[in-house]
């Protein structure tokens, strides 16, 4: 029995550069295998969201290019230990993709961890996974979360509720990934114990 260390990252054009690159680099550093999924396998045009004096909302600039490795249609949930949904503008249209929603719901039904940050929470909303859950997200997604029964968290940058971990923005990375890696350690320990039992 071989322990999978693959983590699915779901995004598309206009995904947030820092959130996607930080996730892939940090996961690789820790020995996991991040797999970027998108509508089709190709180079994705990422963006950078930031704040400028005099603007009432964030500004968007062209970001890096990143290669996706698998299409949503080819995702097999059983191959992954968790799914991560970054923000940016990608979730705005990916939430209308029924395949994306089914994938996320399958992770939930399989009792696997679901990590989402910033606008990535919009996909959780559409998947029907925020009801009665504490949710941290970008403040302009608050209305969507609360309209679907979620509990918007004000004081914390990131929060875990059952198998769902959410964070507000890329500025929440330290708190968000502290929780993410705590969750991944629980998976590692559980799988390690199961493999040890089989070996005996």
Question: Does 148 qualify as catalytic in the annotation?
Answer: no
Residues sharing a CB contact under 8 Å with residue 115, sequence separation 6 or more, in sequence order? 82, 83, 84, 85, 165, 166, 176, 180, 183
Catalytic residue among 118, 137, 173, 183: 118
Asked whether the beta carbons of 130 and 148 are under 8 A apart, the reply is: yes
Question: Does 118 qualify as catalytic in the annotation?
Answer: yes
- Pair of tokens at residue 46: 């990422």
- Pair of tokens at residue 147: 């309209």
Could you give the count of Cα atoms lying within 13 Å of 111 in the half-sphere of its Cβ? 2
Catalytic residue among 25, 49, 119, 173: 119
Nearest to 103 by CA among 71, 142, 130: 71
Nearest to 4 by CA among 197, 194, 165: 194
- Pair of tokens at residue 19: 């959130």
DSSP string, 119-158: GGHHHHHHTT--TT-EE---GGGHHHHHHTT-EE-SS-SE
* Catalytic residue ranges: 118-119
């Amino acid at each position: 029995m071989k322990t999978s260390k693959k983590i699915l990252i779901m995004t598309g054009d206009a995904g947030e550069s820092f959130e996607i690159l930080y996730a892939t680099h940090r996961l690789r550093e820790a020995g996991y295998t991040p797999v970027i999924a998108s509508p089709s396998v190709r180079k994705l045009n990422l963006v950078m969201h930031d704040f400028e004096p005099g603007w009432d909302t964030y500004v968007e600039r062209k970001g890096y290019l990143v290669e996706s490795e698998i299409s949503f249609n080819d995702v097999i949930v059983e191959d992954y230990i968790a799914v991560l949904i970054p923000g940016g503008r990608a979730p705005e249209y990916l939430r209308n993709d029924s395949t994306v929603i089914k994938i996320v719901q399958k992770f939930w039904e399989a009792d696997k961890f679901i990590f989402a940050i910033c606008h990535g929470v919009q996909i959780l909303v559409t998947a029907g996974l925020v009801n009665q859950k504490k949710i941290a997200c970008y403040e302009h997604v608050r209305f969507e979360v609360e309209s679907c029964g979620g509990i918007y968290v004000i004081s914390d940058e990131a929060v875990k509720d059952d198998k769902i971990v959410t964070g507000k923005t890329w500025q929440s990375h330290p708190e968000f990934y502290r929780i993410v890696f705590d969750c991944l350690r629980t998976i590692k320990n559980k799988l390690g114990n199961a493999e040890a039992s089989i070996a005996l």
